[in-house]
Structure 1
Amino acid sequence: MNWQGVFPAVTTKFHQNGNLDMEMFFKNIDAQLEAGVNGIILGGTLGESSVLSQEEKIKLTTETVDYINGKVPVVLNIAEGATQDAIFWAEKAKEMGASGLMLLPPMRYSADHREVVTYFKAVANSTDLPIMIYNNPVDYKTLVTIQMFEELTACENIQAIKESTRDISNVTRMKNRFGDRYKILCGVDTLAMEELVMGADGWVAGLVCAFPKETVAVFNLVKEGKYEEALEIYRWFLPLLELDIHPKLVQYIKLAEQLTGIGTEWVRAPRLTLVGEERIKIENIIKRGLENRPVV
């Protein structure tokens, strides 16, 4: 598993009646692959995993694996409250042909240091799939500390970290402590260029769902040392990237997908599509971005 490059956390597409829209889903996947992304992540927050049935998660994963057919890795996110459920999905992911896992700490229960490490080790030891730990204390209230990562080095298949602490210096802190033992992927769109400059290996991206070419261009330009060219795109991109750090990021990004022609705005309850002044505000941000969209 090569945990480097741009990994879209893709949205799950629905029809207006709430059923899965696999045709539109694969239209978006085509746009991601054409732009040159390095992997696809299913079942994250943007994927609305918490409102998908077990059968829908299985359908989404198996059909995505079949459709992509080895072009890039397919990574399944695991966000569970029970260790046994996390292990179930790790085993199921392997069975369905996923290439790797993104793994959150235990959900709902605020686990302590020993419990978090034990949880991660239990899942890692149940599979040989490579794992990226998702470290997002802002949204999920559990900080995976450097001391925890020290203990997790015992699990060879824990290979990467989705860095969403909002602390840019954490990239340097982790590199100083662990060298290349863990690959670091930025998980916050509005900090992506900054963390890539500081040595992050990849970008788990959100607005890539609507703007794949621009996202890949920023990543590639930074890695080529072409900072001024990257910065020109990134400054244009920032008002759009800020849609990723709002509680309604799913609705905002899906509206952006609809306006760029590679998605629909339909979400599943309890989320509701945008209306009124909020909708006008977000539409205007997206439309301004489209009017000034750079050629990449």
Structure 2
Amino acid sequence: MNLSGIIGYPVTPYSQDNKSVSLEKLGNVIDILLEAKVDAIAALGSAGEAAYLSESEWRLVADYTVKHVANRVPVIIGIAELTTDKAVNYAKYADEIGADMIMLSPFSYYKLSEEEIHSHYEAVSNATKLPIMIYNNPATCGVDMSPEFMLKMVNNITNATMIKESTGDIQRMHKIFALSNGKVPFFNGCNHMALEALNAGANGWCTAAPCLIGDKPKQLFDAVKNGNSQEAQRLFYQQYEFLEFIVTSGLAASVKSGLSLLGNEVGSPRKPLLPLNPAEKKRLKAMLDILV
């Protein structure tokens, strides 16, 4: 699959008591992303609170997302599980429901060796025909994979075809590009370094920002790809404070609060996560008043 552009991340909306997933509201969030001209939808990532969902809820969100998107853009399903068996089961399910790709993170309690991580990815690859995006996000998953090791997995594991790098270290992206001679697609997962990443050769940008600021991320991507550096710089710095804020304040909390401010109530994040405090909401509102 030749994937590029903006990969939009929906939050997972809840009912008023936060006890169940609201599929109707999820459909609304997906529609907001599609209206923002995203090139793919990635359900069940960090912004989607995948780690806080029961297995039945996880499957419900995955299935509904595929059905609601209805082939308008590719659907990527995020998988980050402690055990290989559960990751394999989720990958099989993503395949069964018609997802286009899986984004696989090695989630850890014990520190994992490279041999264990390789085995984890290999087992998932053997269980499905879907392409796998190797996702390096040590801040949330507790595992940090080097560019060299991720490229080794791309070379050795059949369905491992691309990389999402979220450490915020631009040198890692340069290294992925240089070591693979630009042949292995990689994606930026760090919002506030989007301009640097795209200029470093990233095939796209994975972000929940379009939930709140429409097609501005897509405009930035297009400006970089069209070689319009001045416009790209203008668009990036227009968004920069907002992009940094939603990361430092917590994606689920900030995006859900932002949607509420824009008239789309999707509930609060699940505890122990907390919604934004009044000062943070005020700051977010001020940014949205300018951007939206």
Structure 2 length-normalised TM: 0.93
Q: Unaligned regions of 5+ residues in structure 1, if any?
A: none
> Aligned letter for 1:99?
D
Q: Does 1:162 align with 2:160?
A: no
Q: Please show how residues 132-147 of structure 1 align to structure 2 within 5 Å.
A: 132-147=133-148
Q: State the Cα deviation string for residues 194-219 of structure 1 (Å, max 9, x = none).
A: 11011111001122221231111111
Question: What is the aligned counterpart of 1:288 among 282, 286, 289?
Answer: 286
Structure 1 length-normalised TM: 0.92
Q: Please show how residues 114-193 of structure 1 align to structure 2 within 5 Å.
A: 114-152=115-153, 153-193=155-195
Q: Residue 52 of structure 1 corresponds to which residue in structure 2?
A: 53
Q: Which runs of 4+ in 1 moved over 4 A?
A: none
Q: Please show how residues 198-217 of structure 1 align to structure 2 within 5 Å.
A: 198-217=200-219
Q: Unaligned regions of 5+ residues in structure 2, if any?
A: none
User: Offset at 1:228?
Assistant: 1.6
Task: Determine the C-alpha separation between the residues in 2 that align with 1:258 and 1:230.
Answer: 29
Q: After the TM superposition, which of the residue ranges 24-33 and 83-92 deviates more from structure 2?
A: 24-33
User: Offset at 1:9?
Assistant: 2.0
Question: What is the aligned counterpart of 1:269 among 271, 274, 285?
Answer: 271
Q: Does 1:77 align with 2:59?
A: no
Q: Does 1:250 align with 2:214?
A: no
Residues 11 and 29 of structure 2 are in contact (CA less than 8 Å); yes or no, is this contact kept in structure 1?
no
Residues 251 and 265 of structure 1 are in contact (CA less than 8 Å); yes or no, is this contact kept in structure 2?
no
Q: State the Cα deviation string for residues 215-238 of structure 1 (Å, max 9, x = none).
A: 111111111112222222221211
Counterpart secondary structure, 1:266: coil
Residues 135 and 144 of structure 1 are in contact (CA less than 8 Å); yes or no, is this contact kept in structure 2?
yes
Task: Determine the C-alpha separation between the residues in 2 that align with 1:233 and 1:285.
Answer: 20
Task: Determine the C-alpha separation between the residues in 2 that align with 1:28 and 1:250.
Answer: 13
Task: Determine the C-alpha separation between the residues in 1 that align with 2:248 and 2:140.
Answer: 10
- In angstroms, what is the RMSD of aligned CA positions? 1.7
Q: After the TM superposition, which of the residue ranges 205-214 and 80-89 deviates more from structure 2?
A: 205-214
User: Offset at 1:79?
Assistant: 0.6
Q: Please show how residues 23-38 of structure 1 align to structure 2 within 5 Å.
A: 23-38=24-39
* Distance change (3 Å), C-alpha of 1:171 and 1:252: same
Task: Determine the C-alpha separation between the residues in 2 that align with 1:150 and 1:200.
Answer: 15
Q: Residue 3 of structure 1 corresponds to which residue in structure 2?
A: 3
Task: Determine the C-alpha separation between the residues in 2 that align with 1:140 and 1:120.
Answer: 15
Q: After the TM superposition, which of the residue ranges 238-247 and 38-47 deviates more from structure 2?
A: 238-247
Q: Does 1:99 align with 2:100?
A: yes
* Distance change (3 Å), C-alpha of 1:222 and 1:156: same
User: Offset at 1:3?
Assistant: 2.3
Task: Determine the C-alpha separation between the residues in 2 that align with 1:171 and 1:59.
Answer: 34
% of aligned pairs identical? 30
* Distance change (3 Å), C-alpha of 1:116 and 1:51: same
User: Offset at 1:247?
Assistant: 6.0
